[in-house]
Amino acid sequence: MKRVMKGIDLEKWTSKLKRIEDKVERLALLSRLSQILNSSLEQQEVRKRAMEAATHLMKAQVGSLLLIDEKREKLYFEVALGDKGEAVKTTTLNIGEGIAGWVAQKGKSLIVNQPERDARFYKAMDGKTNFKTRNLICVPVKVKKKVIGVLEAINKWDEADFDDEDLSLFTSLADQVAIALDNSRLYQEQEEMFFQTAESLADAIEKRDPYTGGHTQRVTLYSLAIARYLSMSPIEKKWLKIAAVLHDIGKIGIEDQILKKPAQLSPEEYDVIKHHSDLGAEIIEHIKQLKEIIPGVKYHHEQVNGRGYPQGLKGKDIPLLAKIVSVSDTYDAMTTDRPYRKALTKGAAVQELKRCAGSQFDRKVVAAFMEAYRKGEI
């Protein structure tokens, strides 16, 4: 029996109120998801979060982010979550092919609640993934009016159809995804440019010293291999990479006569060379973004027994970045020819590192080096 109070249809008002509550809840969810999306600058992470957000916000079984590969003129599944995510991940579509291809080509959104009746629907996809598409919603992801990809959600929960309210929310999410993707792309480009600049600087120093060709690359490679066997966070590994690339930047301030001397250095000359770690730190101090790597550059010739330079630091007072660069640097110096001596064999150099673990080098770093060496990574 219908409940009517003083001419008010209670059921009608209750269901209206429920719809408003739902809408407010979904808007709050959209706002939370947007914050989560924009709190990362890692491209892979942003893409994964975009997928999770699409699935969650659309109350869908599967969500996908398809990005346009301009060179190949294809649309490829960047990530797809849900049960069939793995199967879908490797698939590419031509622009214009399937619903997603149509949305990418036209830059318009689409709701398809009966895919079997839509000629644009790409049936082969269901076959490939053993998946039955019941309905789907698809919106373009645009950066400065240019379509860079497509956000898609498939199979709404509870057998329901996608509607205009879904479309409006999904479009807002796609705008947030576009901003987050663009920010992460810009960040990555900036980071790449930075690494290239650091590498060019290191290369400029190497070009002055013909005996150390490729030294910087090898020290970087060895340092990163060591880091894999130490518990270091991704950001610490990033700093390590830059410190390894720039560890000898201070040599730029050492005169050619000493730097290029084709014989063993005199004690006085060796004292001059020793300045390069302080000089390197001074050069880097000008770049505030590189604050974290200064210890790696400044102390890469310290020894855990306190007999190193420039400060004679001991054990735990030596920063980890410096301890790692020290092992890599010494190993490379031992295994390359110098004008006044032949290179040691790899085996002999490794024995030397082991012998000096605990005196010149940090034991844990040498142990990590050994592990990487045994696995053929060095």
Q: Where do contacts with Fe ion occur on this chain (CB under 5 A)?
A: 248
Burial 179-217 (b: 16+ CB within 10 A, else e): bbbebbeeeeeeeeeeeeebbebbeebbeeeeebeebbb
- In angstroms, the CA 369 to CA 350 distance is 9
Nearer to Fe ion, 40 or 335 (CB): 335
Which pair of structure tokens corresponds to residue 229?
């066997």
Q: Kindly state the DSSP code that residue 305 receives in the 8-state scheme.
A: B
Q: Least distance from C-beta 230 to Fe ion, angstroms? A: 21
Q: Least distance from C-beta 377 to Fe ion, angstroms? A: 23
Q: Least distance from C-beta 281 to Fe ion, angstroms? A: 12
Nearer to Fe ion, 97 or 248 (CB): 248
Nearer to Fe ion, 232 or 281 (CB): 281
List Cα–Cα distances, 74 to 46, 56, 66, 98, 125, in angstroms: 21, 27, 10, 12, 15
- In angstroms, the CA 125 to CA 75 distance is 13
Nearer to Fe ion, 84 or 215 (CB): 215
Q: Least distance from C-beta 199 to Fe ion, angstroms? A: 17
| Residue whose Cβ sits closest to Fe ion | 248
Q: Least distance from C-beta 27 to Fe ion, angstroms? A: 57
Asked if 343 and 334 count as a contact pair (C-beta separation under 8 A), the reply is yes
Nearer to Fe ion, 55 or 303 (CB): 303
β pairing state of 4-5 and 8-9? antiparallel
Asked if 280 and 246 count as a contact pair (C-beta separation under 8 A), the reply is yes
- In angstroms, the CA 308 to CA 327 distance is 13
Q: Least distance from C-beta 253 to Fe ion, angstroms? A: 13
Burial grade of 302 (CB within 10 A; 0-12, 13-18, 19 or more)? buried
Nearer to Fe ion, 248 or 362 (CB): 248
H or E stretch including 158?
A: none
Which pair of structure tokens corresponds to residue 189?
């480009």
Nearer to Fe ion, 66 or 254 (CB): 254
Burial grade of 102 (CB within 10 A; 0-12, 13-18, 19 or more)? buried
Nearer to Fe ion, 152 or 248 (CB): 248
Q: Least distance from C-beta 229 to Fe ion, angstroms? A: 23
Which pair of structure tokens corresponds to residue 4?
């009517």
Amino acid type, 255: E
Nearer to Fe ion, 50 or 202 (CB): 202
- In angstroms, the CA 286 to CA 62 distance is 49
Q: Least distance from C-beta 231 to Fe ion, angstroms? A: 26
Q: Least distance from C-beta 251 to Fe ion, angstroms? A: 7
- Beta-bridge partner residues of 63: 153
